[in-house]
Amino acid sequence: MPHTLTIHELTTQLAARQLTAREATQACLDRITAVDENLNAFISHDAQDALAQAAAADAAIANGASHDEQPLLGVPIAIKDVIAVKNQPLTCGSKILGDFISPYEATVIGKLRDAGATIFGRLNMDEFAMGSSTENSAFGPARNPWDQERISGGSSGGSAVAVAVDECIAALGSDTGGSIRQPAAHCGCVGLKPTYGRVSRFGLVAYASSLDQIGTLTKDTRDAATMLNVISGHDPRDSTSIQRDVPDYASGFGENLKGLKIGLPREYQAAGLDPEVRDSVDAAIKQLGELGAEVREISLPHTEYAVATYYIIATAEASANLARFEGVRYGARVEGSDPESMNRATRGAGFGEEVKRRIILGTYVLSSGYYDAYYLRAQKVRTLIREDFLKAFEEVDIIASPTSPTAAFKIGEKAGDPLQMYLSDIYTISANLASICGISVPCGFTSGNLPIGLQLLGRPFGEGKILQAAHTYEQATDWHTKRPTIN
């Protein structure tokens, strides 16, 4: 069935005329109709527009267009609702943007179009990407396809669900502290966070500008490499975009990992790590060793400060970035007797509780008398965390860890305890603070049949190494082929 294929399987069939792009897109749309009412992965989608794009792809293939030149020609790709697509809704999972339609397009969307992709659908997410469960969405939670009473992860929960249940062939997400990798682990797919500056952020609605990065959710690592090749590259419209050549990320794929050095941080064997997660990750690391990698223990001594540092810096940047949503320039508006009361009423009604919590916290740490004690100190600790990683990468090529300390927890289980929710990101946030790359790949299941993820972290612009290791591991196992049964 077309919707169950990977990118490389689908493009092979499209090129051989065994399948049409329209058939592949229709299969994804039919799958959404069949299962999404219960899963809530999509906020919206335009079937007519998607089929028109697919028809154009079929015409291009008939006229001799090549997948060598357009590697995503005819491939249906869905988009997290924080990335701008021209003439499509852009809500960021929030009420405050109302029925806002984007007047412009993100750079990554232009790159997908140039590669021939069929772009459709707005995927569910935690409001303004603030959350680890997609429970904070104004449109309701995206439910885990392995157990619909459990979270999908966040903030890119809708993206992970859509890929895991074959509602699209691949998806884009964003990762500020683990928002691609953690839902990928919880839903059993591959989530890739590139190095900060590798992929343009132009057209990504900002949560925390020094941490946000657009990335991919795919069915396997070869697809992740293909997607990363398409969306990477310098963009003059993004001042944080790095001018650096884009390699062929699949060129290093091989049958073994001989000579690769993998580090295991002793600080990551912390209390709170579920025994079943530990066992699966340990087995995966043992497998990497059997494939030729050299595994050794390393230290990341400032790990204990990562969560606190992240939630000071991220909320401070969020409080500044979200000031633009005031009911004047765009989005929803609640009328008031004067501009100040209108602004207060609009933000009070439009923002959800978690977004308000983070805005308040961020405003506090930036306020007079507290800036030095909190924000400035957090920036200094961030530098120490980054130096920990750079020092570790002098000894090893890759750092391995669990993606999340537990498998997916039940919806509502941590809703009343924000601190416990924040600790769900303990293994992922350091990569964003250090501006390095990371990938999560499936590595097992709990006794309750919930997916577990292995995280591989690489040095800045080391995506090729982590993709190589992930792909080699994938070829020796079948965890990535498992799909949930949806009734």
DSSP-assigned states of every residue in 35-69: HHHHH--EEE--HHHHHHHHHHHHHHHHTT--TTT
Which amino acid, one-letter code, is at 92? C
| 310 to 72, 265, 341, 468: CA distances (angstroms) | 35, 19, 32, 29
Marked catalytic residue, from 137, 179, 404, 435: 179
CA–CA gap between residue 123 and residue 173 (Å, rounded): 9
Residue among 22, 39, 28, 36 nearest 1 (CA): 28
Write out the two tokens for 344: 């207060």
Write out the two tokens for 254: 């091989």
C-alpha dihedral sign at 243, 245, 249, 253:
negative
Helices marked H in 67-167 — which ranges? 107-114, 157-164
404 among known catalytic residues: no
Residue tagged 């089929």 (tokens)? 51
155 among known catalytic residues: yes
For β-strands 437-445 and 294-298, DSSP reports them as unpaired
Write out the two tokens for 150: 């459990």
CA–CA gap between residue 226 and residue 390 (Å, rounded): 27
380 among known catalytic residues: no
Marked catalytic residue, from 152, 155, 200, 241: 155
Residue tagged 């080391």 (tokens)? 462
Asked whether the beta carbons of 224 and 190 are under 8 A apart, the reply is yes
CA–CA gap between residue 25 and residue 23 (Å, rounded): 6
Asked whether the beta carbons of 456 and 439 are under 8 A apart, the reply is yes
Marked catalytic residue, from 80, 111, 219, 414: 80
Active site residues: 80, 155, 179
